[in-house]
Structure 1
C-alpha cells in the first residue's frame, strides 16, 4: 500500500493506494476521513492521481460530512502540567488546594482551586463546568452576531443550545433549533463561527447537497481552510 497525495485548489488530499485484480478503480472515504483507493493491477500512478483529482470535490464533501459527526479530542488525565485548549490556545493546567473551589485563567495557565486535587474525577467536573459557562457566554454572543445571515432563507427565529457530545460538532432541526457541542469552546473563535454558519445553512438545506455547499461558500468563503484548522487542532 502506498501513501499518495494531490493538490486540489487550496486543499491537499492524501490517500492510500493499493492495487488488486479488478477491472475498475474504487475510492472510499472512511469516517476517520482517510481516503483509500484500490486500482486495477498495472494502472499507472499518474492515471490514479488523475482519477482522484476528478473525484476531489466529492472526496472533500464526504470528509466534511464526517467532520460533522466526529470531533476527536485527546484523553486527559487532569493533572498539573498537562495542556488544555481554550479558544484555540494551549494552557497549562495548575491544581491548587483551596476550600473555595473555582477556576481562573492566569497567563498561560488554567488554575483550578479545589478541595481535593488528587480526585481527578472531581477536577474534571469542576473544569467542565467552567468550560460550559464559557461556552454559554461565547456561543450566545457569536450566534447573535451570525443568525441574521439566515434571514434571507429562514422565516422563523433560530434558537441555540449546547451540550457535550461525542459524535458531532453540531446539529440543526427543521424548526430552527441549533445544537452545538460544548467541546467547541476549546477551538478558535473562527472555528466556532464556521460550525454555527454550517448549521445555519442547514436551515435552508437539511443535507449536504450542492445547494447546501453553494450557500456555505457564499456565507463563509474560507470555510475549507477553517475546517482544516479545526481538524488539525482537535486530533
Structure 2
C-alpha cells in the first residue's frame, strides 16, 4: 500500500469499518493510521499532529533497541535463557540429541548428530526452550491469577513475530510468546499479568493501566527491559 503524506509524515493510511482512529508505530519508523471509512482528511491531520511527539518518541525507542543476533548455533556463540547469556557448546552425539544447561559454568551444551545443520540445531534448542517455558508457566499462573482476580480457562505458547502475548477475552485463553523464555523471568510475569488484566478490561485505557499499577506496581521496569531488544523487524511495542 503506498504511503500518504499527513501532517508532514509518511503514513500507511487504512480506512476500515471501526469506531475510532488508531495509531501504531512499527520498528523501522513506519507509521500506520487506521480510521473509520468516512473520516475527513482534516480530522486525520489533526489526529496525527496531536500525537507527533509520541510518534517521534516511539521511533527513537525503536532506533535504540538492540537487534537480535544472527546465530549459526555453533560452539562459542552466546544464547540467552531467562535473561542470562550462556556459551553454546556443540558436541557430536552417537545417540539421541539433547540439551544440557550448566548454570555453574554458564554453558549450554547441544548434543547433536555429526553433520547436523544450523536449522537442525536451532530446532533442537527451540524445542528445549518450549519445554522450559511450559514447565514454568503452571506455577506462574497459580501465583498471579489470585493477585489479578481472574483466571485463564486455557493458555498456550507459540512463536509470535509482533506480540509478546495476546488474550482471547471471550474464550479466556492466553497466548505467550516463546521468546519470553530468553528474557528475565519478571518480563514473562509482566506479560502474563498484562494478559490476565485484559480479562478485567479489554482496552489499554486508564482503567487498564490503573489495574496494572495495583497488581504489579513495578510493571514499567519489566516492560522497559522487555522492549530493550527488538522482537521482530515489524514489531509494534508491548503486549497486546
What range is the shorter-chain TM-score in? 0.5 to 0.7
> Alpha-carbon deviation of 1:209?
1.1
CA contact (8 A) 1:78 1:120 kept: yes
Counterpart in the other structure of 2:18: none
Distance change in 2, residues 1:81/1:131 (3 Å): same
Within the alignment, does 1:84 sit opposite 2:79 as a pair? yes
Q: How does 1:15-54 map to 2 (within 5 A)?
A: 30-32=25-27
Residue of structure 2 in register with 1:149 after alignment: 147
What's the TM-score, normalizing by structure 1?
0.68
Structure 1 equivalent of residue 118 of structure 2: 120
Unaligned ranges ≥5, structure 2 = 1-7, 9-22, 32-49, 232-240
The DSSP-based 3-state class of the residue aligned with 1:179 is: strand
Shift of 1:97: 0.3
Q: Which residue of the other structure, out of 196, 210, 214, is the alignment partner of 2:206?
A: 210
**1:29 shift after superposition:** 6.6
Runs of 4+ in structure 1 displaced over 4 angstroms?
Answer: 33-36
Structure 1 unaligned spans of 5+? 1-19, 21-27, 37-53
Contact kept, 8 Å, 1:187 with 1:233, in 2: the verdict is no
| Alpha-carbon contact 2:68-2:229 (below 8 Å) kept | no
What CA deviation, in whole Å up to 9, does each residue of 1:96-139 have, x standing for no partner? 00123110012211100011354111111111111110010112
Describe the shift of the 1:177–1:35 C-alpha distance in structure 2 as closer, same or farther (beyond 3 A). Answer: same
TM-score (ref. length: structure 2): 0.67
Q: Which residue of 1 aligns with 2:45?
A: none
Alpha-carbon contact 1:160-1:177 (below 8 Å) kept: yes
CA shift in 2, pair 1:29/1:170, >3 Å: closer
Aligned twin of 1:17: none
- C-alpha deviation, 1:55, in angstroms: 7.3
SS, match of residue 85 in structure 2? strand
Return closer, same or farther for 1:218/1:59 CA change in 2, 3 Å cut-off: farther
**Residues in 2 aligned to 1:115 and 1:84: alpha-carbon distance in whole angstroms:** 20
Shift of 1:34: 6.0
Helix, strand or coil at the partner of 1:77: coil
Task: Give the alignment's Cα RMSD to 1 decimal.
Answer: 3.2
Length, aligned pairs only: 183
Residue number in structure 2 paired with 1:102? 98
Deviation at 1:95, TM superposition (A): 0.3
- Answering whether residue 226 of structure 2 is matched by residue 230 of structure 1, we say yes
SS of 1:232 mapped into structure 2: coil
Contact 2:148 2:215 in 1 (8 A): no
